């Protein structure tokens, strides 16, 4: 008999856990990339929102500042209303009024320019100014119809301070008559405010005219300069004259925002360096990197622990499978040895019957020959019939031994069955011949209710009952009686429990001896594999375990019971009735 095929071996843990190893690295990296992208987008959105808010605040500040200057010029306009230019030039009252206006909080100087372009009044310098002398105007900028803003240098040419000049046309009868009213305030007042507004020293603020020239700026030094044309156009185009919106754009170095100052030909712009935006984003992203590295390390650690645990379990399963293989081989070897041992006992038990059968056949052959020689054919026929009956008995003995010796499993998908009554009679007859005259064997079969067929292999059944009979004789060393009781049994659904029997029809076969019995401790372990009470006399502890395995393979179970030492023992087999 070849050993059973080994069970399927589990695959190596490393081949099963590579997705976890990859996921422990790729998932945090992908989440980091996604978080970085979302964080970068959010940082840019926050910077854009900050620029819009700052530009709106700067625009309101510029509008309020120039509104003060416009109020001063409106007051001058009302003071000289109805006066002609010679009267204006000679009026001490006008001069005093202008000086009073110039003494205001935010106004640096106030002046009037006549229609011929000659300055009539300048509260900070003598008039008329001389070209290149202190007080010279870099950009006369005489307006024709509306306000203008310009840069003016106040002081010596080598130490001039920038001032922002707002000009309005002088109106006569509601129409410009060519004269100009102007007022100045220092550019430093804007720059001081701008310095307090910026969040980063690298940020830039520029107040520009429509021609792109900077009127005031932060950092200092760019007032009076022309802003690059594309930026000037963008500021000028920020929604048109009446627009209150803030326009955003960017270049490789800056993120810009600009808006028009309402009512004036001015734009206010705010610029943030991209380097500062990226630096702010990196500060938050570095924390994300640290968190990602920590999460990756934790995932790798967990994956390592899981894979290590799985590898250990795999090794344990492999060892258990190998042990199961070895036990299966040992069990198969034991069954072969047990079968051969049983066969030897059967041969020893039936040798006498074979000898009697052979002697009967030899003697009958001689008698038949003599009868034929004497012409007694009827006598010869009787003798030949006796010879045939003796040969049939020998054949039955041979078939029983062959069934005991065979080890062929049933075909795949088929459940072996056996005829109950013939099998019981044959097993009892075999047991009587094997156990010897010191041990009586009594068979008690229920007259009705027994199924014709039960599940189980005939050879295994014969060997199981013979082994139970041999166990009984070993429990009765001085002789005794082995009683085999066969009765039908019906298991209902409510009766199923620890015995493991499914609802259905069964045959209950009880083998009872009158031997030494068992105590409670022995009875609790007697069904265990390799447990034996005859360790010193050749016991293996597998006989009852094999009987239990046969019963369970036949859809039933096995129970062992003893009332105590000296009261004998009963081994009961349940075999399921065959489905017909």
Cβ–Cβ < 8 Å for 208, 215: yes
* Predicted local confidence at residue 482, as pLDDT: 93
* Predicted local confidence at residue 265, as pLDDT: 82
Q: Per-residue pLDDT tens for 272-300?
A: 999 988 988 888 888 888 888 888 888 88
* Predicted local confidence at residue 9, as pLDDT: 47
- Tell me how many helices (H) and strands (E) the chain has: 11, 17
- In angstroms, the CA 503 to CA 191 distance is 100
Higher pLDDT among residues 209 and 161, named by residue: 209
Phi first, then psi: give them for residue 481, nearest 5 degrees: -120, 135
Instruction: Please report which confidence band the pLDDT of residue 397 belongs to, taking 50, 70 and 90 as the band edges.
Output: low
**In CATH, what number does 12-336 get?**
3.30.450.20
CATH topology of domain 411-576: Heat Shock Protein 90 (3.30.565)
Higher pLDDT among residues 410 and 465, named by residue: 465
Beta bridge mates, 216 = 207
Higher pLDDT among residues 494 and 380, named by residue: 380
Q: Per-residue pLDDT tens for 502-533?
A: 889 999 999 999 888 888 877 776 756 555 66
Range of lowest pLDDT (444-458, 479-493, 536-550): 536-550
Does residue 567 surpass a pLDDT of 80? yes
- In angstroms, the CA 299 to CA 409 distance is 52
CA dist 119 to 100, 142, 312, 371, Å? 18, 11, 101, 179
Place of tokens 């998908």: 413
Does residue 42 surpass a pLDDT of 60? yes
CA dist 442 to 111, 234, 568, Å? 146, 119, 16
Closest CA to 425 of 484, 506, 490, 503: 484
- In angstroms, the CA 137 to CA 399 distance is 140
Instruction: Please report which confidence band the pLDDT of residue 443 belongs to, taking 50, 70 and 90 as the band edges.
Output: very high
Chain-centroid distance of CA 440 in Å reads 71
Give the H/E segment covering residue 443: strand 439-445
Task: Transcribe 211-251 into DSSP letters.
Answer: TSBEEEEESTT-TTSBPPHHHHHHHHTSS-TT----EEEE-
Instruction: Please report which confidence band the pLDDT of residue 400 belongs to, taking 50, 70 and 90 as the band edges.
Output: low
- In angstroms, the CA 471 to CA 558 distance is 15
Q: Return the percentage of the chain with pLDDT > 70, whole number.
A: 74
Q: Return the percentage of the chain with pLDDT > 90, whole number.
A: 15
* Predicted local confidence at residue 134, as pLDDT: 33
Higher pLDDT among residues 171 and 239, named by residue: 171
Q: Is the peptide bond before 278 cis (omega within 30 degrees of 0)?
A: no
Among left, alpha and beta (phi > 0; psi -120 to 50; other), residue 250 is beta
Residue 271: both structure tokens together: 């610029």
Does residue 322 surpass a pLDDT of 70? yes
Q: Which residues are within 8 A (CB) of 177 and not within 5 positions of it... i.e. 6 or more apart?
A: 115, 169, 170, 171
Instruction: Please report which confidence band the pLDDT of residue 62 belongs to, taking 50, 70 and 90 as the band edges.
Output: confident
Q: Which residues are within 8 A (CB) of 182 and not within 5 positions of it... i.e. 6 or more apart?
A: 73, 110, 111, 112, 113, 165, 166, 167, 168
- In angstroms, the CA 205 to CA 222 distance is 10
Place of tokens 């019957």: 353
How many residues in total does the chain contain? 580
* Predicted local confidence at residue 510, as pLDDT: 95
- In angstroms, the CA 256 to CA 271 distance is 4
What average pLDDT score do residues 392-407 get? 63
Does residue 156 surpass a pLDDT of 50? no
Instruction: Please report which confidence band the pLDDT of residue 187 belongs to, taking 50, 70 and 90 as the band edges.
Output: confident
Average pLDDT, the chain: 77
Sequence spans of domains, the chain: 12-336, 411-576
Torsion of CA 205, 210, 216, 217, to 10 degrees: 30
Secondary structure (3-state) at 5: coil
* Predicted local confidence at residue 14, as pLDDT: 53
* Predicted local confidence at residue 178, as pLDDT: 86
Residue 206: CA count within 13 A, CB half-sphere: 26
Give the H/E segment covering residue 349: helix 274-374
Cβ–Cβ < 8 Å for 508, 445: no
Secondary structure (3-state) at 561: strand
- In angstroms, the CA 248 to CA 436 distance is 114
Instruction: Please report which confidence band the pLDDT of residue 191 belongs to, taking 50, 70 and 90 as the band edges.
Output: confident
Q: Which residues are within 8 A (CB) of 543 and not within 5 positions of it... i.e. 6 or more apart?
A: 338, 467, 471
* Predicted local confidence at residue 298, as pLDDT: 86
Cα torsion 12, 15, 18, 19: sign: negative
Closest CA to 245 of 234, 258, 232: 258
Torsion of CA 283, 285, 290, 295, to 10 degrees: 160
Q: Per-residue pLDDT tens for 224-269?
A: 454 554 444 444 444 444 446 889 998 889 999 999 988 788 889 9
Residue 457: both structure tokens together: 């292999």
Phi first, then psi: give them for residue 510, nearest 5 degrees: -110, 125
Q: Per-residue pLDDT tens for 336-378?
A: 776 666 666 666 655 655 665 676 677 778 878 888 888 888 8
CA dist 529 to 208, 536, 549, Å? 102, 17, 11
- In angstroms, the CA 340 to CA 318 distance is 33
- In angstroms, the CA 498 to CA 365 distance is 61
Instruction: Please report which confidence band the pLDDT of residue 489 belongs to, taking 50, 70 and 90 as the band edges.
Output: very high
Phi first, then psi: give them for residue 495, nearest 5 degrees: -90, -10
The Cα diameter of the chain in Å comes to 193
Does residue 127 surpass a pLDDT of 80? no
Annotate 39-90 with three-state secondary structure: HHHHHHHHHHHHHHHHHHHHHHHHHHHHHHHHHHHHHHHHHCCCCCHHHHHH
Phi first, then psi: give them for residue 501, nearest 5 degrees: -80, 135
Instruction: Please report which confidence band the pLDDT of residue 116 belongs to, taking 50, 70 and 90 as the band edges.
Output: confident
* Predicted local confidence at residue 164, as pLDDT: 78
Does residue 142 surpass a pLDDT of 70? no
- In angstroms, the CA 34 to CA 257 distance is 28
Does residue 548 surpass a pLDDT of 80? yes
């Amino acid at each position: 008999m070849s050993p059973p095929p080994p069970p399927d071996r589990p695959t190596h843990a490393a081949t099963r856990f590579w997705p976890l190893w990859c996921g422990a690295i790729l998932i945090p990296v992908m989440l980091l990339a996604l978080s970085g992208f979302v964080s970068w987008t959010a940082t840019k959105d926050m910077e854009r929102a900050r620029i819009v808010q700052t530009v709106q605040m700067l625009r309101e500040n510029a509008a309020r500042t120039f509104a003060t200057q416009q109020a001063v010029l409106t007051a001058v306009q009302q003071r000289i209303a109805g006066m002609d230019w010679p009267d204006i030039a000679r009026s001490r009252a006008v001069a005093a009024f202008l000086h009073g206006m110039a003494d205001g909080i935010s106004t640096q100087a106030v002046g009037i320019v006549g229609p011929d372009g000659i300055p009539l009044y300048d509260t900070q310098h003598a008039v008329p100014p001389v070209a290149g002398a202190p007080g010279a105007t870099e950009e006369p900028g005489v307006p024709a119809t509306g306000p203008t803003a310009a840069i003016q240098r106040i002081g010596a040419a080598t130490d001039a301070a920038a001032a922002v000049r707002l000009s309005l046309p002088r109106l006569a009868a509601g129409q410009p008559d060519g004269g100009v009213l102007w007022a100045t305030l220092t550019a430093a007042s804007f720059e001081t405010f701008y310095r307090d507004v910026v969040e980063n020293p690298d940020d830039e603020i520029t107040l520009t005219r429509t021609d792109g020239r900077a009127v005031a700026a932060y950092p200092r030094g760019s007032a009076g300069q022309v802003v690059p044309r594309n930026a000037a156009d963008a500021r000028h185009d920020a929604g048109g004259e009446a627009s209150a919106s803030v326009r955003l754009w960017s270049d490789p170095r800056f993120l810009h925002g600009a808006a028009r100052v309402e009512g004036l030909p001015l734009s206010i712009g705010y610029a943030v360096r991209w380097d500062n935006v990226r630096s702010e984003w990196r500060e938050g992203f570095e924390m994300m990197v640290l968190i990602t590295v920590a999460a990756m390390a934790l995932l790798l650690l967990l994956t390592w622990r899981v894979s290590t645990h799985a590898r250990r379990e795999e090794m344990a399963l492999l060892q258990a499978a190998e042990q199961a293989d070895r036990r299966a081989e040992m069990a198969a070897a034991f069954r072969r040895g047990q079968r051969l041992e049983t066969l030897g006992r059967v041969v020893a038990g039936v040798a006498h019957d074979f000898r009697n059968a052979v002697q009967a056949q030899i003697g009958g052959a001689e008698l038949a020959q003599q009868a034929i020689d004497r012409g007694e054919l009827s006598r010869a026929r009787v003798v030949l019939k006796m010879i045939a009956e003796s040969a049939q008995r020998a054949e039955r003995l041979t078939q029983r031994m062959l069934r005991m010796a065979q080890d062929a499993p049933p075909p795949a998908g088929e459940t072996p069955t056996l005829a109950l009554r013939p099998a019981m009679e044959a097993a009892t007859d075999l047991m009587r011949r094997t156990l010897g005259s010191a041990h009586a064997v009594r068979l008690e079969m229920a007259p009705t209710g027994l199924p014709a067929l039960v599940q189980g292999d005939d050879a295994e059944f014969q060997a199981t009952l013979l082994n139970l009979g041999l166990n009984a004789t070993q429990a009765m060393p001085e002789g005794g009686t082995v009683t085999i009781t066969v009765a039908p049994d019906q298991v209902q659904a409510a009766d199923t429990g620890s015995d493991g029997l499914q609802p259905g029809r069964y045959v209950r076969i009880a083998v009872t001896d009158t031997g030494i019995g068992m105590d409670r401790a022995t009875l609790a372990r007697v069904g265990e594999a390799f447990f034996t009470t005859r360790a010193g006399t050749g016991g293996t502890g597998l006989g009852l375990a094999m009987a239990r395995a046969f019963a369970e393979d036949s859809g039933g179970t096995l129970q062992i019971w003893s009332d105590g030492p000296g009261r004998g023992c009963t081994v009961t087999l349940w075999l399921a009735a065959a489905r017909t």
